[in-house]
Amino acid sequence: MKKNFLKAGFLGLLVSVVFAQSSLAQSDPSGKRRVTGTYAITNATLFSSPGQQGSKGTILIKDGVILGVGSGVQIPKEARVIAGDSLYVYPGFIDGAGNMGVTRPKDPERPKDMVSSNPPDEIAGITPWRSVTDQYSASASMVNDWRKAGFTISQVFPEGGMIPGKGAIMVLGDADGNNLIQLNSALSANFRGSRGMYPATAVGVMAKFREVYQNSSLALEHEKLFASTSGVKRPQITPTQSGMAAVIQKQIPVIFTTSNDLEVRRAISLQKELGFKLVLTGLENYEPVIDLIKSSNTPVLIKLEIPDDKAIKGQKEEGVTEATKAQYARVKEAYDKSLKQASLLEKAGIPFAFTTVDAKAGDAHKALKSMIENGLSEKAALAALTTNAASILGISRMAGTIEKGKMANFVLLTDTLFTENAQVKHVIADGYVFDFEVKKKAATNGKTENSGAIKVEGVWEYTSETPAGASGGELVIKKEGTGYSGTITYDDPAGTGKASSPIKNVTLSGSNMSFEFDVNAGGMSLTVTVTGEITGNTMDGSMSIAQFGSFPLSAKLASPSRNN
Amino acid sequence: MKKLTYILAAFLGLGMNITSAQTPKGSVLIKNATVLTVTKGSYENTDVLVQDGIIKQVGKNLSAPSGVQTIDATGKYVMPGIIDAHSHVALDVVNEGSAPITSEVRMKDMVNPYEIGIYRALAGGVTVSHAMHGSANVIGGQNATLKHRWGSTDPADIIMQDAPRTIKFALGENPTRVHGRGNGIQPRTRMGVEAVIRNGFNEAIQYKKAWESYNSSKTQKGSTATPPAYSERLQTLADILDGKIIIHCHSYRADEIYMLINVARDFGIKKLVFQHTNEGFKVAPEIAEYTMGASVFADWWAYKFEVYYSTAFNAAILQRNGAITSINSDSAELIRHLYHEAAKTQRYGGLTDDEALAMITINPAKQLGIDDKVGSIEVGKQADLVIFDHHPLSVYTVPQMTFVDGVKYFDIKEDQDDQRQFVSATEMVEPVYLFSKVNEHKCMQDMDSFFEAFEGAFLEEKH
């Protein structure tokens, strides 16, 4: 206990030192402070807004604001110049609803005398007063991952139960700075019940949502009457009711997580009954309700991912009956249809945007390409990433396009967006420049020669940097038919020692290898994805877990198999 | 002139909105069938003419108006669409069992029009089902009466919008197991169950009064009246007291059935139907006099302690005592052959054909408050019809075609191996359950976590 006080005291001292420094403008012992906040990206190909042709030009930014765009921009002396001659610049991407950098708070302890049929709101997951800013960390690895994918703004939401709390719009800028654009921008809600107490299921959640809404509305009425009339008894507003006030007064929307068409209908029916502003997020299967989304004029955020194709890959060619083949065909049809959904939204004229929740940053560009291959126009895809998201979030004035006066948020790529080999070289968010390593692709004509030289079979030793420290293990890869199989060892999440899992979905294309394995952590099964590039006997890459982010990984082929 | 165009446009626009919100209605002429009207006798070599979803004529030598399809049913039998007064088909959630009273929850919120169980029910001639809340709590949620319009993606299309509201109650072991023993709250015993109901209704009376007095005084000048708390839970109970909602109560034992009859009489409630009612034969005269009857299984009991005392003669005894009696499925499997279940009342109790068929048609329609619309073949009623190849009470019979509002939703000749409406893009084989894991009826679906709590409570007692 004493030790904690000491720690707290020490921390307080540190904080006060930092504050003192910034206010006294003394020299910067950390060495982190930038030399300048003024940058010029010169002679780059600019795509200022969706649908616009690329044109050569220069962008000048200062303190996170665009000062000038075009050909006649004067570059001041203090500007650092980023040579943009071979770069393609797009407005920074905007995540309509995310949970990057958000850590779920500890569940509050259940009171001993709690009655499960009538639990306190906080225990039952009804916490509209909570703000995501208490759960957000700008330095989380997921924030880095999404920034690397081109995202510069995210509306993040807290974790929790049926009404987790209020979101905030964050710029993915300097991790040490204050990145808030808008506090309490929307209230999040979903149909998740609380385990073992009221409301336990989606049907209870809908009833409880109505009850919370109606009583919050009545509480406001009571408050108004109390303020205007003498002799009125004192209103006893609960934290839930005051947390709901901005929604009742229609100042902010409720952003409902609805993954399929039936949930979309449920959220829209609640909206029609109660009259709040509604935004839908997390959409996966929504083809049957596109007309309803259109006619109800509800803004939608779809998931920035495509469904996994395990059921397609698992289909057998031989030894199956006609009936099974017919079922296969239906699964394939359903899969193809799900890939086309985004293009159907575009055809219906619905200006949708994306949510990064549940998606993997490393696969974001692949998902976008797949949507485009399935009929979505590049213009609509870029609009979903930029202008549509800005408009749904109500920040069009400051973000979404490259224009003078808007925030300095850009993605700088080595080729035009959505082309196969385009890589993100820089991301500028809030005027801060983030550089990323651009990997040289093997020349396409030399590919066949090279691929013979890549050897993966054998025993690899790997190390990975995770927030919990460095860890590592052994990776064994064997040839199996035309593909590969194997096992991987890792630090057992359940305690000490090593655990081992089989690896699956091993793919090797060119010098890039990827595979997955499942880890059982506390009863929950997590899928870990490893991707890396092999040069000689070493591999550099990353290990990623959805919702936790990705961590660098390096491996060495310790004993290659000889019987190749 | 311009004004007129506007009015016309508005009118036409409105007209279009109405049609788009409407469910499909069909026209058909079924020729030369044996027509089992259930309420008005049976007729050989008779035709049934349906226009725009309504039965227009029943008689001989009818001719089809132009554009109306004719179906030759020579040698076949036509009966009203079968009505299942107790089902959980097409519901995403069955139990919100977390509180002893959850009258605020609406099963209409959870209707899933993709569930294959709807098609299977149609293949068994069932056109209307009563999608009920489960029996985990004393006063459960409000049920949905469904019309099996298979193929729609909108839940609103399969909800029978003109059916009255109904609500689930449950007595005995289920609610006492979940709440009393599972979570240490009332009710732990049958006495507690009665107390929960009585307290609920008394609170609802207070609630109604509080709102009435607030509403009448708030408009007065200088009023200091403040709004009472809103509770859809209590409002729903008040609506039951006002006769706006029919109670459908899960029950087994005679004593608890008689208890609820007395509670209903004390509170002036007349709209009450008992479900399961395995000991109903012991209190048949009381059920007949004070309630809207009982909905029972044909011959299913002994699946838990409180259901050990029953008989396959239950339905016949209730019927002959003048109680409105129906036979239900409470199961995705039994719903496919309710006509067999009805036929069992002839083996056990010797009921007539019309009495037996009434058990799955007009009687459940009465208990759901929809007997003016469906449940028999009568001119003016909604055209929910089934064609059988043999008499529907024959053990050899197989349903051939099923119509809802004159639209054919099942035809054995067009039946495909894979009738799913929705196919998952990410699952090779979707899980299918005809029986639930424990081979028990679905009344206790979604209650796993509560049983864990129940087991936990039990383990603790051993310490």
Residues of B in contact with A266 (CB under 8 A): 109
Question: B226, A215: Cβ pair inside 8 Å?
Answer: no
| Per-residue pLDDT band at B7 (split at 50, 70, 90) | very low
Residue-averaged pLDDT of chain A? 89
Structural element, H or E, at residue B22 = none
Show residues of chain A in contact with B106, CB under 8 Å: 203, 206-207
Task: Quote the CA–CA distance of B62 and B337 in Å, as a whole number.
Answer: 31
Contact A307 B425 (CB under 8 A): yes
Report, as an integer, the average pLDDT of B305-323: 97
Q: Which residue from A203, A231, A307 is facing B105, i.e. has the nearest CB?
A: A203
In percent, the amount of chain A with pLDDT more than 70 equals 90
Q: How far is B55 from chain A (nearest CA, A)?
A: 32
Residue B75 has pLDDT above 60, yes or no: yes
Q: Which residues pair with B58 in a beta bridge?
A: B48
With CB atoms and an 8 Å threshold, state whether B155 touches A311: no
Instruction: Provide the pLDDT for residue A525.
Output: 74
What's the pLDDT score for residue B401?
98
What pLDDT does A239 receive? Answer: 97
CB-based contact B222 A229, cutoff 8 Å: yes
Instruction: Cite the residue boundaries of each domain of chain A with CATH code 2.40.128.120.
Output: 445-560
Residue A373 pLDDT exceeds 70: yes
Torsion angle of alpha carbons B426, B431, B432, B437, nearest 10°? Answer: -160
DSSP conformation letters of A357-403: TT--GGGHHHHHHHHHHTT--HHHHHHHHTHHHHHHHT-TTTSSS--
* Omega within 30 of 0 (cis) for the link into B24: no
Every domain of chain A with CATH number 3.20.20.140 lies at 94-107+115-199+252-398
CA distance B229 to chain A (A): 6
A-B CB pairs within 8 A amount to: 139
Closest residue on chain A to B104 (Cα): A207
Q: How confident is the model at residue A538 (pLDDT cuts 50, 70, 90)?
A: confident
A34-92+400-438 folds as Urease, subunit C; domain 1 (2.30.40)
Give residue A495's pLDDT. 67
Q: Which domains does chain B have, with CATH numbers?
A: 22-80+375-422 (2.30.40.10), 82-217+227-371+433-454 (3.20.20.140)
pLDDT at B286 over 80: yes
Residue A548 has pLDDT above 70, yes or no: no
CA distance A538 to A403: 44
State the average pLDDT over residues A36-42. Answer: 96
Task: State the fold for domain A445-560.
Answer: Lipocalin (2.40.128)
Are B418 and A330 within 8 A, CB to CB? yes
Domain A94-107+115-199+252-398 CATH assignment equals 3.90.1280.10: no
**pLDDT of A3 higher than 50:** no
Q: What is the mean pLDDT of residues A434-438?
A: 94
Q: Is the pLDDT of residue A444 over 50?
A: no
Best of A203, A331, A341 to mutate (most B CBs within 10 Å, chain B): A203
Does A318 or A141 have the greater pLDDT score? Answer: A141
- Give the mean model confidence (pLDDT) for residues B357-363: 98
DSSP-derived secondary structure for B405-452: TTEEEEEGGG--S---S---SS-SS----SS-TTS--GGGTT-HHHHH
Q: What is the mean pLDDT of residues B367-372?
A: 98
User: Which residues does chain B have within 8 Å of residue A204's beta carbon, measured at their own beta carbons?
Assistant: 96, 98, 102, 105
CB contact under 8 A, B425 and A117: no
- Of A543, A124, A504, the C-alpha closest to A362 is A543
pLDDT in tens, A511-527: 888 888 888 776 667 78
Task: Reply yes or no on whether the pLDDT at A445 is more than 90.
Answer: no
Mutation site for A-interface testing, chosen from B91, B102, B108, B236 by largest number of A Cβ within 10 Å: B102
pLDDT tens digits, one per residue of A475-508: 888 888 778 888 888 887 766 778 888 888 888 8
Look up the ipTM and state it: 0.91
The verdict on whether omega for the bond into residue B399 sits within 30 degrees of 0, i.e. cis, is no
Model pTM score: 0.85
pLDDT tens digits along B407-447: 999 999 999 989 999 999 988 776 665 554 444 456 676 66
Please state the rounded mean pLDDT for residues B220-241. Answer: 95
Average pLDDT value over all residues in chain B: 90
Averaged pLDDT, B187-206: 97
Nearest CA in chain A to B426: A311
Convert the pLDDT of each residue in B77-129 to its tens digit.
999 999 999 999 999 999 999 999 999 999 999 999 999 999 999 999 999 99
| Mean pLDDT across B226-249 | 98
What are the angstrom distances between the C-alpha of B90 and each of A238, A432, A518, B132? 38, 53, 34, 10
Q: What is the pLDDT of residue B452?
A: 46
pLDDT of residue B8: 41
Residue A302 and residue A261 in contact, taking contact as beta carbons nearer than 8 Å: no
Please compute the mean of the pLDDT values over residues B174-187 and round it to a whole number. 87
**Rounded mean pLDDT, A459-475:** 80
Residue B381 has pLDDT above 70, yes or no: yes
How many whole angstroms separate alpha carbon A227 and alpha carbon A235?
10
**Among B97, B112, B424, whose Cβ lies nearest the Cβ of A334?**
B424
Higher pLDDT, B242 or B449: B242
What pLDDT does B454 receive? 43
Binned at pLDDT 50, 70 and 90, residue A361 comes out as: very high
Instruction: Please tell me which residue of chain B has the smallest CA distance to A205.
Output: B105
- Tell me: pLDDT of A449 over 70: no
Write down the pLDDT at residue A26: 62
Of B155 and A503, the one with more pLDDT: B155
Q: Kindly tell me if the per-residue pLDDT of A564 is higher than 90.
A: no
Q: Is the pLDDT at A430 greater than 50, yes or no?
A: yes
For residue A6, pLDDT beyond 80: no
pLDDT digit string, tens, across residues A174-226:
998 899 999 999 999 999 999 889 999 999 999 999 999 999 999 999 999 99
CA-CA distance, B119 to B97, in Å (whole number)?
28
